[in-house]
Structure 1
Amino acid sequence: MAIFNNSDIFGQTTPGNSMKWEFTEPEQNTFTFSDGEETITLAKATDKKVRCHNLVWTAELPTWVSGGSWTNETLSAVMQTHITKEIEAYGDGCYSWDVVNEALSGSGYTSNVFLDVIGEAYVPLAFQYAEAAVKNAGLSCKLVYNDFGIESPGEKNAAAVAMIKKIQAQGIQIDGVGFESHFSTSYYPTTSDQMTAMKAFTDLGLYVQVTELDVACSSASPDPSELAIQAQAYYDTVSACMQTENCTGMTVWDFDDQYSWIQPSTNDGEGAADLFTADLSPKPAVTAVSEAIEGESCSVCS
């Protein structure tokens, strides 16, 4: 916990699973918020902000939602209740909410129960419900769309821009966009491409953040040359944010390899994606991130 608690290293945190629908409303109208409250308590103890994550997502849904027999009206009501209850429960412990997570696939929408029943309108509707819940509770938290694959120019980035313009056209609150930024040593966008992708959203008056950054290596035991490539990927991403007006934060998706979601057994042999090893030894990427923040050239990159 010493690394997590060090506010010189981390100033905000995101719960990985504890605030997702499957864990907060496992049965209809049966709510449990205790695990998420633990994250908020830990964060408050060291003056960290909490990016609360997430309200509506196609994955990690309880079966009563994903397998239910719904109409537009009944599913919309369920979504409204869930969003409202969760925002009220965590209150000012959240400085922002990922309202909708990963709604897009390529140039279109990801198939899920909300799309199948409500249609594309479920996305602005979720933001509408979130906006109302925030205002009715007297809160001031930001409302965010979060996704992967939008970190460089292309069809998914363009689709996200188009979707957000529709939300804005309806006068519904949306404040920011989260760039998940799950990369690997075999693929990561250039600093220039990431800046272009970010500008597509800041031009809409939104802020952007890097929200789930990690860089997978080809194995759990990368050699020094691959660690230098990993450092370059971290450096380029942090540099893009630092050079983009209204890029307001960067979050890594776990900071040590022991707890990373990227493990060789489940990711085709890939691993070692985080800043620190499983025994909490810093990798070259730690130096690279620090140098990117300071605007210095990378001394450990390839």
Structure 2
Amino acid sequence: MNSKTTLFLAALGLLSLGATTAQAQNAPVLQQAEGGTAGADWLSQTASGVQYVTVTPTATINAQNPGTAARVITYSVTFPGAGSYDLYARVRVGSAGANDDSFYYANGFGQKLPADDSNWITVNNLNAVGYPSGSGNVAVEGAGGAGSGVWKWLNLSRFNGGEAPISFTVSAGALTQTFQLGAREDGLDIDKLVFGQTGLFFTTDQLDNNQQGTATPPVTFVPAGPPMAQGKPKFLGGVWSTPQKVFFNKYFNQVTPENAGKWGSVEGTRNQMNWAELDSSYNLARRNGFPFKMHTLIWGAQQPIWIENLSDADQLAEIREWFQAVAQRYPNIDQIEVVNEALNDLPLNGSTGNNGPNTPGSGAGNYYNALGGAGATGWDWVITSFQLARQYFPNAQLLINDYGVITNNTNAQRYLNLVNLLVARNLVDGVGIQGHAFETRGIPAATLAANLTTLASAGKPLYITELDIDGVNSSGQLDDAIQLAEFQRIFPSLWEHPAVRGVTLWGYRPGHWRSTQGAYLGMTDNTERSAFVWLQNYVRTTVLGTRTSAAAAAVRLFPNPAADGRFTLTGTEQMTHLRITDRLGRVVHEQALRGQATVPLQLKLAAGLYAVQLLDAQGGQATSKLLIE
């Protein structure tokens, strides 16, 4: 190659590099929401120094498009250079929450047909996602976890709110483009839009101040892990949902889906199954070897509306189909909350329990009578539910779950009576006890512990299934000291009770169902509140009792050493749970036991030393070392 050719190619390379660099430095493009040409249904308002647009109240919401030109805003946007841009929006969800949290943006540049679904992308479910302004050094990516009533940013090009999101491509010959927004629900306020270059990371401060993003994500706190209860004889789990999944396996070693496993979430439309989020939570558990608990099969809330008016026979057939579909898709479920809140929320329209009244269309299911209603026992519908669950899930640990059952002895006794009906029929393997802040606040820890003991008298292990503790003061402001004191007061009485085999936190990040009450433990930028720091240290350093009962002392393991992972346990009639851990305390096998005298096992385990733990319902343990050759 001669020198002229070399210089020519080098010059081309510099030109190419210069073009790439210039494109990579395209400034973000700010568009005030009120700066467009608005249809008649849009209003421009100002409050607390913020000018924004909102839509006039209406009872009509088109499913997939604005519907009319009156519900469209049109903008002319000039870009600094060619390239791909993500669309960011600063929005505020109104007081109606899920009824104030959706709008449309155009599926590409140009004038769109208001009533053509293909021209618009639906953005829904904004009630519990987004990043509040001033939320710290965190990139606006994915869902976030901000709630309603706050100004917050979303990267619409990275958030699927009902339809697949898009980025926007600008060519060098067409830097000025027409862009449109469409109205869906009233009650949603929109302050401004930003087109930021795809591939760059923007914090809320950068978006608020129209500053350029960075090529590398901002540095945020990263927890070191491992899960705080790793190697312990009981788990500390978490609820899984999009806002809660960040660093999940750094903190928790058990998985419960928050809403994804409720029948109304999966089959909101008859015979159209939405498994996506439930798949994600199940797969997370399987990848990490964590126990997975299905929440929930039968409940008096969040059930399909379409089932309410079917005949009893058709309802029962649909319930069977629902059980069978879950069993086939998730063959290795560890635990199932078969019936949720039986004492408080019947699956019956007209019921006036603590969550009622259950009105038609409320999602109560209205299949109470299809399952047998009260019947001779007063709880035939619950018994039928568990009989079906035992049929379709023979290898899972079946749980009942309810709230308000350890706050006083009357509630505990009523719950115990129901549990004992199931125990007498060998239908239940564990007792779920919710622990929300509205239950435990003001209740002495000794009362909680005493009622746990009452429920343990049924002879089944106990699980604290939905624990959260608020963290705001009387003015509604975050208060770490209040949350820390309540955790220190409540948590030890639950965690250290010998019959409690696991605790599940019902969320730990913003996007928590009690975000308004400050019940989250971690912040948007991943930093940890005082109660979370204390909780991790407490769980990791507290030595739990290893009481050996007479039943546990009777357990035998042979042969030991074991070849090819084959060995047998005997004397296990009164043992309820088996867990095997490796030398690092990682769980490699776990299963529920139900009165088997002999448990033969053939496990695919690498050669080495393992700990075999068996537990009975009263907290007694048998622990043996197992050598696999």
Q: TM-score, normalised by structure 2?
A: 0.41
- Aligned-partner Cα distance in 2 for 1:10–1:52: 16
Say which of 213, 221, 226 aligns to 2:477.
221
Cα-to-partner distance string for 1:253-273 (whole Å, 9 max, x where unaligned): 1111x2101143xxxxxx210
1:116, distance to aligned residue in structure 2 (A)? 5.0
- Aligned-partner Cα distance in 1 for 2:420–2:413: 11
Matched, 1:145 2:384: no
How many residues end up aligned between the 2 structures? 275
Alignment of 1:103-114 (within 5 A): 103-105=342-344, 110=353, 112=364, 113-114=366-367
Partner of 1:299: none
Partner of 1:27: 269
1:2, distance to aligned residue in structure 2 (A)? 5.7
**Higher normalized strand content (fraction of residues):** 2
1:148, distance to aligned residue in structure 2 (A)? 1.3
Partner of 1:253: 506
RMSD: 2.6
- Aligned-partner Cα distance in 1 for 2:505–2:259: 15
Cα-to-partner distance string for 1:55-110 (whole Å, 9 max, x where unaligned): 01111111112x31332x43333222212321232110x2101111111139x994
Partner of 1:131: 390
1:285, distance to aligned residue in structure 2 (A)? 1.1
Say which is worse superposed, 276-285 or 199-208, in terms of deviation: 276-285
Cα-to-partner distance string for 1:225-282 (whole Å, 9 max, x where unaligned): xx333223223333123321231111111111x2101143xxxxxx210222333221
Amino acid aligned to 2:513: W
Amino acid aligned to 1:144: L
Partner of 1:267: none
Partner of 1:268: none
- Aligned-partner Cα distance in 2 for 1:109–1:156: 17
Partner of 2:221: none
CA contact (8 A) 2:468 2:506 kept: yes
Amino acid aligned to 2:463: Q
Partner of 2:520: 274
Say which of 61, 74, 78 aligns to 2:314.
74
Considering Cα pairs closer than 8 Å and 6+ residues apart, tell me whether 1 or 2 has the greater RCO: 1
Secondary structure of the corresponding residue to residue 14 of structure 1: strand
Alignment of 1:189-208 (within 5 A): 189-208=443-462
CA contact (8 A) 2:297 2:339 kept: yes
**Higher normalized helix content (fraction of residues):** 1
- Aligned-partner Cα distance in 2 for 1:228–1:211: 25
Q: TM-score, normalised by structure 1?
A: 0.81
Q: Structure 1 pair 85/188, CA: closer, same or farther in 2 (3 Å)? A: farther
Amino acid aligned to 2:520: D
1:291, distance to aligned residue in structure 2 (A)? 4.9
Cα-to-partner distance string for 1:181-234 (whole Å, 9 max, x where unaligned): 1115992433222212222222111111111111123465323xxx33322322
- Aligned-partner Cα distance in 2 for 1:167–1:132: 15
Alignment of 1:154-173 (within 5 A): 154-169=409-424, 171-173=425-427
1:132, distance to aligned residue in structure 2 (A)? 0.8
Partner of 1:290: 536
Q: Structure 1 pair 104/134, CA: closer, same or farther in 2 (3 Å)? A: same
Secondary structure of the corresponding residue to residue 105 of structure 1: coil
- Aligned-partner Cα distance in 1 for 2:311–2:513: 33
Partner of 1:300: none
Greater Rg, structure 1 or structure 2?
2
Secondary structure of the corresponding residue to residue 178 of structure 1: strand
Amino acid aligned to 1:221: Q
Secondary structure of the corresponding residue to residue 368 of structure 2: helix
